Amino acid sequence: MLIFENWKKILVLTVSIFAIIFSLPNFISKNLINNTPGFMKSGEIRLGLDLQGGSYLLLRVESESLQTDRLNSIADELRIGMRNSTPRIGYKNLKVSGTELSFALIKNEDISIIKNVIGDIDKELIINSDNYTNIKVSMSEEKIKEIRDYAILQSIEIIRRRVDEVGTNEPIIQRQGDDRILVQLPGLDDPERIKRLLGKTARMNFRMVNETANIDEALSGRVPPGSDLLFELDERTGEKTIPYVIYKKIGVSGEQLIDANPSMDQNNQPVVSMRFDTSGSRKFGELTSKNVGKRFAIVLDGEVISAPVIREAITGGSGQISGNFTFESASDLSVLLRAGALPAPLTILEERSVGPSLGKDSINAGIYAGIIAIILVIIYMIVIYGIRFGMTANISLMVNILLILALLGVLDATLTLPGLAGIALTIGMAVDANVLIYERIREESRSGRSNIGAIDNGFKEAFRTIVDANITTLLAALILFQFGSGPVKGFAVTLALGVITTMFSSLLLSRGIITFWYNKFKPTSLNI
């Protein structure tokens, strides 16, 4: 009598039931899935971009602008520090150029004092001097890396908020390299809208209009000190229209907004309703109280959305942004304001779109290929090893495939086109393991061993070969997953799962079925 321990029987039965139940959502309609128990819904496989259709974006975070912002802040602190030092330090040509701050000292002997002043501001700054007169200040590599890492992590969070607000299904947002972010949006219907949302930094502020300035002089290049020349943007056409001279001083920052939603005004025109936090409400109330009858500009990323006249003080902490909005542009602006401003601008380096019809064609092609492969394997195994052993291998193969699908769903892995290739490869590996076992049983039977001895030794002797072959494949899959990206990872995931399920199905499930068959029917010959 062949021995198959009870714990193995329980394990095989439990895993097989798990495979059938949790793979079932992938074979039934959406309506039926909604009526299934909640735990079963976790078995539904999430399709990747190449199978479901959608958009792929590779973004670069322009963290150099953060370095420039930090150096500008240091320059302001440095001016105050040199003015308040004893003795007072004379300097000229203090400016920030790219990622470097430079200025010239009036007196050479002030070099030691200025180093102390800079050290008090930030001890990690690197100071270079030319004949003790020309000073150049830059940030250390560690500080630059810290700023870059902050920009990446913060940008990922803001991108996720913006994408989630639009309702995109299961987005994939992850860091790539030092300064890049990969965004995959399966099933996206309007990729242009997402590009517009991600292309805006969304730094909003409220500033007063310099109504004493001469617009013609500003347009000719003579902008008054302390002011900027900005243009109003027509949200419907995207064109710059009315020029304004705006004071640089920010009255209220958009960071103090806590909510924004699209709505309609009294004239049935789209507007954005906004609400400030406590500090923002106070500042907004003071700004409008002191400037009744004057214009203030709502500035987004260096462009004027609108510049209304303040009719009365707005002290309630809420208001409306009006402009030439469509309802979609008002909704998009609300999304941007709720999600928050990006720490640095994003540049789209690579963009790919996959239509849902193309993704469906890929799925159909993969299904047809899989069905043909399974049918050929079933026929081959029955012809070569007979109905009993052939059908055992085929049942094992079916459970193996169902188990892979169930694990992909439960682990929330994404199935991609290369992943389908990994499943196809697994079919071949599963059959190969059974071939090794059956050939060994044949050899043992031909050498004169009893039926029980041939089956027992066949599994035992093939065990080492199967484990060695599958472990090397598993190691290759782990290396691909660790160092690969995108499609390569998808292939590695299904290949790794396939290795694990193959060893289970060939070494445990197949043996369990054969043991049950032999002990029940006690055949006089194996006919393999």
Residue 8 CA neighbour count, 13 Å, CB half: 14
Chain-centre distance of CA 10, in angstroms?
A: 40
- As a whole number, mean pLDDT of residues 74-78 equals 86
- What does the alpha-carbon distance between residue 354 and residue 54 come to, in Å, rounded to a whole number? 5
- Cβ(150)–Cβ(343) below 8 Å: yes
Tokens encoding 171? 């987005």
Bridge partners, 46 (sequence order): 414
DSSP 224: P
Query: What is the chain's mean pLDDT, rounded?
Result: 84
Residue 36, helix vs strand vs coil: coil
- As a whole number, mean pLDDT of residues 75-103 equals 85
- What does the alpha-carbon distance between residue 196 and residue 286 come to, in Å, rounded to a whole number? 34
- As a whole number, mean pLDDT of residues 158-176 equals 78
- Cβ(156)–Cβ(173) below 8 Å: yes
The band of 237, judged by pLDDT with boundaries at 50, 70 and 90, is: low
pLDDT at position 232: 85
pLDDT at position 244: 92
- What does the alpha-carbon distance between residue 99 and residue 75 come to, in Å, rounded to a whole number? 12
Residue 112, helix vs strand vs coil: helix
- Cβ(501)–Cβ(426) below 8 Å: yes
Any idea which residue has 């492969």 for tokens? 373
pLDDT at position 357: 65
Letter for the amino acid at 240? K
pLDDT at position 38: 64
pLDDT at position 189: 62
Q: How far is the CA of 8 from the CAs of 123, 336, 453, 504, 520, in angstroms?
A: 65, 56, 20, 11, 18
- What does the alpha-carbon distance between residue 116 and residue 292 come to, in Å, rounded to a whole number? 46
- What does the alpha-carbon distance between residue 32 and residue 44 come to, in Å, rounded to a whole number? 12
Query: Who wins on pLDDT, 241 or 445?
Result: 445
- Cβ(334)–Cβ(260) below 8 Å: yes
pLDDT (tens digit per residue) in 181-231 = 988 887 766 677 778 778 778 788 889 999 889 998 888 888 888 888 998
Helix (H) or strand (E) holding 472, with range, is helix 451-483
Q: How far is the CA of 358 from the CAs of 30, 51, 53, 72, 420, in angstroms?
A: 21, 8, 7, 50, 15
Please indicate, yes or no, whether the overall pTM of this predicted structure exceeds 0.95: no
- As a whole number, mean pLDDT of residues 473-502 equals 86
- As a whole number, mean pLDDT of residues 452-463 equals 90
- Cβ(219)–Cβ(240) below 8 Å: no
Enumerate the domain spans of the chain.
6-52+355-521, 64-143, 203-327
A 10 A CB-CB count for 294 gives 13
Quote the Cα angle for 429-430-431, to 5°.
90
- What does the alpha-carbon distance between residue 26 and residue 13 come to, in Å, rounded to a whole number? 21
Letter for the amino acid at 123? K
Helix (H) or strand (E) holding 67, with range, is helix 64-84
pLDDT at position 35: 67
Residue 258, helix vs strand vs coil: strand
Report residue 220: phi and psi, to 5°: -85, 0
Topology at the third CATH level for domain 64-143: 3.30.1240
pLDDT (tens digit per residue) in 27-71 = 776 666 666 666 666 667 877 777 777 788 889 998 888 888 888
In the CATH scheme, what is the code of domain 203-327? 3.30.1360.200
The band of 426, judged by pLDDT with boundaries at 50, 70 and 90, is: confident
The length of the chain is: 528
Bridge partners, 76 (sequence order): none
Task: Locate all alpha helices (DSSP H) within 340-412, ordered by sequence.
Answer: 356-410
Query: Who wins on pLDDT, 77 or 352?
Result: 77
Quote the Cα angle for 202-205-209, to 5°.
130
In the CATH scheme, what is the code of domain 6-52+355-521? 1.20.1640.10
- What does the alpha-carbon distance between residue 322 and residue 273 come to, in Å, rounded to a whole number? 9
pLDDT at position 197: 79
Report residue 281: phi and psi, to 5°: -60, -45
